């Protein structure tokens, strides 16, 4: 669980920014979203394959940019 200690003289806004950064680094929101919806095994497989294709397209696009 992410938590921050508010130092004396520190503004609430800066403490909130530190907390948000810590939550993002620990991937808490990502994990909550992952477990909030049940996906059938076939759906999970299709989603995983689609993400793999997307990563491959991005990688190929970056490689083509470096060729020129």
> Along the 68 residues of the chain, how does pLDDT read in single tens digits?
788 999 999 999 999 999 999 999 999 888 888 889 999 999 999 999 999 999 999 999 998 887 76
In the three-class reduction of DSSP (H, G, I as helix; E, B as strand; rest coil), residue 32 is classed as helix
Domain boundaries, the chain: 1-37, 38-68
CB-CB contact of 6 with 15 (8 Å):
yes
Q: How far is CA 68 from CA 2, 7, 31, in A?
A: 45, 51, 39
pLDDT for the residue 68: 64
Which pLDDT score, from 0 to 100, does residue 21 have?
Answer: 93
Quote the pTM value: 0.50
């Amino acid at each position: 669980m992410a938590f921050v200690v508010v130092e004396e003289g520190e503004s609430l806004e800066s403490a909130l920014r530190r907390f948000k950064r810590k939550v993002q680094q620990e991937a808490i929101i990502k994990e909550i979203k992952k477990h909030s919806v049940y996906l059938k095994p076939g759906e999970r497989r299709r989603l995983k394959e689609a993400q793999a294709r997307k990563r491959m397209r991005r990688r190929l696009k970056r490689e083509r940019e470096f060729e020129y």
